[in-house]
Amino acid sequence: MASQPLTRTRVRTAIVINQFVAPGLGTMLCRRWIEGLAQFAAACFGCALIVLWFVREMRSYYGTMFTDQGVEAPAGRIALLGALIFGVSWVWSWITGLRLSRGISDLSALKIAPAVKLDDGRIALALAHVPAWKQDGQVISRTFPFKDFPAAIRFVNAAAEIAEGAWHHPDIDIRWNKVTLALTTHDAGGLTEKDFLLAKKFDELAAH
């Protein structure tokens, strides 16, 4: 299933939520459900261990106040383990935010990519980075298969938003569960760097 394309504002909000509210919640805001749930679960488990240690510590403390024989103080290893697990989830969510932010930056860079027609040698080199795409004259295309028609339409909607954000638009052909995207730069009269950068973004979209 294609992931929903992200805006810069959503990614920034997700980073703030991950770092200052709860790891994983921002990731889920960006519809990275599995990764976000794993981060959130790890953060909750780490917090639970810290709370457990604190409760046991308080029991030990009050036990010495109200009884002649105090309760044995719990080992601090529980708190350390909890802090470690929470820290891992926090760093993980931070790395996720950086990765999502980099994806937005790549899309912005695509807007200013040079619209200069590539020669045959540079086209061949660029095709090596998007091997699933086929060249037909001054057009590259790829057919993406999906499990059903709704999944294909979700991909098309997501691809359309990416294309609009990049100011570069593919030709789209939909055949039930198959979507064919074709790219060329009409203003340049052929294939440019924009076409191959956008092809790579569509490959990444389909892989999610």
- Mean pLDDT by runs of 10 across the 208 residues of the chain is 58 90 91 91 95 84 61 69 95 89 65 79 95 96 96 92 85 96 93 93 88
Q: Out of 3.40.449.10, 3.40.50.300, 3.90.1150.10, 3.30.1360.20, which CATH number does the structure's domain 120-207 have?
A: 3.30.1360.20
Q: Write down the domain spans for the chain.
A: 8-111, 120-207
Question: pTM here?
Answer: 0.56
Answer for the pair 174, 152: CB distance below 8 angstroms, yes or no: yes
How many C-beta atoms lie closer than 10 Å to residue 101's C-beta? 16
Question: Nearest to residue 97, comparing CAs of 190, 11, 193?
Answer: 11
pLDDT tens across 30-54, in order?
A: 888 899 999 999 999 999 999 998 8
Give the whole-angstrom CA distance, residue 208 versus residue 205. Answer: 6
How far the first Cα of the chain sits from its last, in Å, is 7
Q: Which residues contact 146 (CB under 8 A, 6 or more apart)?
A: 152, 155, 177, 178, 179
182-189 contacts, C-beta under 8 A, 24 or more apart: 182/139, 182/140, 182/141, 183/139, 183/140, 183/141, 184/138, 184/139, 184/140, 185/115, 185/117, 187/115, 188/115, 188/116, 188/117, 189/117, 189/138
* Residues making up the chain, counted from first to last: 208
What is the reported pLDDT for 1? 41
Distance of CA 49 to the CA centre of its chain: 29
